[in-house]
Chain A
Amino acid sequence: MTGMRARTQPSVAPGGLRFGRAVIVLACLFAAASLSGCRDAREIESVGFVLGLGIDETADGRIEVWAQVALPSAKPAEEEKQQSWTARSVGDTVWDAVRQLNDRSTKVLFRAHVRALVFGERFARGGVARALDVLARDGQFRYKSWVFVTSDPVGDVLGVETKQSSSAALSLDDLMRNTARSSTAPRSRFLDLLTSIEQPGDQPLLARVSLVGPTEAGGQAEGEESTAEAGRGQGARGPEGPEGAKGTPDTEPNELRVEGSAALCGDRMVGWLDAEETAMALMVCNKLPAYSFVMPMPGGEGGTIGFDMIRSHADTLFPKGIHTGHAAELVTEVVIRITGTVDIREVLSSEQLMSMQSLDSLQAGISRHLEAGVRRLVDAAQNRLGCDVISIGECVRRRVPAKAWEEDVAPTWHDQFRAITIVPDVRFTVGKRGMTMQSPRPVH
């Protein structure tokens, strides 16, 4: 009975009910007018969608920031209009420069659609953490944005007008999605950068973007160089990358190339890895989805043979164990065992691999070739860069107590890493050989 009273509220008068309903209706109308967001709404034309951000350091230590903003056309008649606008500002910090950009822009800069974040080499060598704080705090910024480092002027990189995309940032986005097929550059996202700089045993590799001329970009001018490069990975052009350390192309640049990587130690860039070294690093870290390469045909027949790597798996082994409690000699020897399969894509040789013996010889040759690549990478990591870009430390971290890692190992890991004996052990097999068993040849 009492419960019924509680539910039905019989004491409320009809007049009171009517008044209550009127109040609710008025409240709803007021809420609809005041909470719907119309009061301070922004039209889409007044929003500047930032597609690319560039950050570099001037010679006098100030911070330069570029923002590439999309200028969407409202109607087809405006198709000829400029599709993006790149603005530059200079400040004492990244935020100071961004703030000035905001002040100068006629549109509200909206950073939720940033596709590419490009660091200049000078800024990267000085420490990218200076940019990470402001971007990590920003609720708009996308964690899945691609991160690049360039040795070319950042403004020129973002200013490239490509025929394939409406802006350089979108072009970079497309290129990064496509590099997965060849893996000559790491798929470095902002998220990866954030998580890896905090782990001394898992140092970041950031994709390198370069300006190239139309002939270089099209791969037409390689000619003799290609022959000389037989035995190297796709696009490999020496340790300092496509154009050497300075990275200045001879012809007028109008294309972008994503190839190779910048190696960071903590948040500071310590050097470049070329395309082949980058691929080897990704293979050692089990982050290599695909890779194609050409090598001389093993044996004395001459010619070359081309492959697609379709599968690889790396195990990091510690044959002498990990000795906790003696931080100085925690790890003395590491074996990187890599197994995988390659498909034959091209045979330009009189050797047509029609016997089991020749196939065994080929497999041994592939393994030796890739092992040599890994050795070059290890040498670069330990001596040239002095930084664990092959995630040995991460493997150690997973095997030792967290406290031992944090207190004893992590602070001195880079020094320990340089002294470790790292032995690659690569074993590859040949998988498919395509739709023909032998090369089609004219009868002489």
Chain B
Amino acid sequence: MGDRPGHGSRDEIYYTQIVVITAMIVFATGFLAAARVLVPVAGTAAWISVLIGGAFGLGIAVLAGYLAARFPDHSLVRMAERVFGAPLGKLIGLTFAAYCTVVLGLGSRESVLAMWIAFLQTTPPVLISAVFYVLIIYAAYLGIEAIARVSLIFFSLVVASLLVLTALASPVAVPGRLLPIVGNGLGPVMRAGFLAASYAGESIVVLAFIRHLKDKRGASRAMATGVATGMAIMAVATGFGVMMLGVRGISRVTFPVLETARMVGFGQFLERAEILFLALWFSAALLKLATVFYASITSVADVLGLRDYRPLIIPYALLGAALSLIPKTVLETFDYLNVFVRYSVWYTIALPVVLVLGAVARGLREGGDDIRDRDAG
């Protein structure tokens, strides 16, 4: 069974773009509230737990890259179909699409809440969500190549903004608040590391479009670099949050990174500059959500055997927007997020492991197609 030619197959993305997309998927929405999830568990060592989670993520990235090298022209659904046959492969594809949909729903809800609570208090969240989804729809319509190109531009700006924020935050930060270095102890730090791994694990979304990478030999390295970059950003954000707000402060606030941004300013002439940072961060979140949305609809299109994913865009966007509105309150949203962070890591580890083990067991050799398929082609 060879890969069927399909949607956006002419799109090409490059090594750096995969690095950037992976990094954005890892940190763009999670870092808004990751510290609030991790600090109560790990205490002052929450930033270390993020790095431990990053180590888990590197493993996932290496496995994903291995799959990409083994099945260079396959999307995730096609890989699964090839390894386990069509019925089971489609089922795995559906679970992947469901995972992406949950990431999309929770990510968009979290971003919308951050904008709504902190800035657009009189704007109905449905309207903010609608604007988000209109932009996501447009991005998905343009395809992964366009998303990757725009991501490359915005990622540089986001990193620059974070560097500026770090520099401005340094006078306010109290490094001693990171002590004791082991926080609540090794056990809790490892447990928090496992929670943090769920953010790194979101990098498996890249499997949906890794086949567009021009040179598959760099897939593992690109994804691993992206995961490392994303988790490093998250570790810095968490560490500075603790240094500025303390353990109790972090555990109390709604969005630690927003609070951190509120505390800094450019001297006296430009106060309350957090909106400048947030505009960039929400652009990053938007691009992440567009990527996840693209991964969702292309996976569903693969499962349904559609040649083009575009007819699915509008219905799926409506579904995603509806899902994102299920949590009625902030508390409910964070409850869903906590459950997701706690359990999704298992899926993100299991998916590449199962596919790699299946491929090895089936003896599918590197290059993806065996001799019989190639002859048939």
Interface on A for B, CB 8 Å cutoff? 1-7, 9, 35, 40, 112-113, 139, 142-144, 191, 194-195, 198-199, 394, 397-403
Q: Which residue of A lies closest to B251 (CB)?
A: A198
- CB of A195 within 8 A of CB of B245, answer yes
- CB of B8 within 8 A of CB of A198, answer no
- A40 to B5 Cα, complex, angstroms: 51
Selected from A143, A397, A399, A400, the residue in CB contact (under 8 A) with B262 is: A143
With A7-B10, A139-B118, A142-B271 known as contacts, the answer to whether A402 contacts B43 (CB < 8 A) is: yes
Interface residues of B in 261-320 (CB under 8 A from A): 262-263, 265, 271-272, 307-308, 310
- A343 to B43 Cα, complex, angstroms: 43
Contact residues in B for A112 (Cβ distance below 8 Å): 272
- A40 to B121 Cα, complex, angstroms: 13
Query: Does B367 sit at the interface, judged by CB under 8 A?
Result: no
Contact residues in A for B118 (Cβ distance below 8 Å): 139
The 4 closest A-B pairs by CB, nearest first: A398-B179, A3-B9, A198-B248, A402-B43
- A5 to B10 Cα, complex, angstroms: 10
- A142 to B248 Cα, complex, angstroms: 20
- CB of A6 within 8 A of CB of B308, answer yes
Q: Which residue of A lies closest to B268 (CB)?
A: A177
- A199 to B44 Cα, complex, angstroms: 14
- A392 to B307 Cα, complex, angstroms: 68
Contact residues in A for B7 (Cβ distance below 8 Å): 3, 6
Can you give 9 contacting A-B residue pairs, CB < 8 Å? A3-B6, A3-B8, A35-B131, A194-B249, A195-B246, A394-B176, A401-B182, A402-B180, A402-B183
With A399-B180, A402-B43 known as contacts, the answer to whether A3 contacts B249 (CB < 8 A) is: no
- CB of B185 within 8 A of CB of A402, answer yes
Interface residues of B in 152-208 (CB under 8 A from A): 172, 176, 179-180, 182-185
Contact residues in A for B246 (Cβ distance below 8 Å): 195, 198-199
Q: Mark B227-270, 1 if CB is under 8 A from A, else 0.
A: 00000000000000000111111000000000100110100000
Contact residues in B for A7 (Cβ distance below 8 Å): 8, 10, 143
A363, chain B: closest CB distance, angstroms: 30
With A112-B272, A199-B246 known as contacts, the answer to whether A401 contacts B121 (CB < 8 A) is: no
- CB of B8 within 8 A of CB of A139, answer no
Contact residues in B for A191 (Cβ distance below 8 Å): 172, 244, 263
- A5 to B245 Cα, complex, angstroms: 54
Contact residues in A for B10 (Cβ distance below 8 Å): 3-4, 7
Contact residues in A for B180 (Cβ distance below 8 Å): 397-402
- A2 to B306 Cα, complex, angstroms: 11
B160, chain A: closest CB distance, angstroms: 23
A433, chain B: closest CB distance, angstroms: 31
Contact residues in B for A4 (Cβ distance below 8 Å): 10
Selected from B143, B185, B263, B307, the residue in CB contact (under 8 A) with A144 is: B263
Contact residues in A for B143 (Cβ distance below 8 Å): 7
Query: Does B350 sit at the interface, judged by CB under 8 A?
Result: no
Query: Does B119 sit at the interface, judged by CB under 8 A?
Result: yes
- A35 to B123 Cα, complex, angstroms: 10
Query: Does B117 sit at the interface, judged by CB under 8 A?
Result: yes
- CB of B272 within 8 A of CB of A6, answer no
A98, chain B: closest CB distance, angstroms: 16
Q: Mark B105-146, 1 if CB is under 8 A from A, else 0.
A: 000000000000111011000000001000000000001000
- A178 to B247 Cα, complex, angstroms: 31
- CB of A2 within 8 A of CB of B5, answer yes
- A401 to B183 Cα, complex, angstroms: 7
Contact residues in B for A199 (Cβ distance below 8 Å): 246, 248
Selected from A6, A35, A394, the residue in CB contact (under 8 A) with B8 is: A6
Contact residues in B for A198 (Cβ distance below 8 Å): 246, 248-249
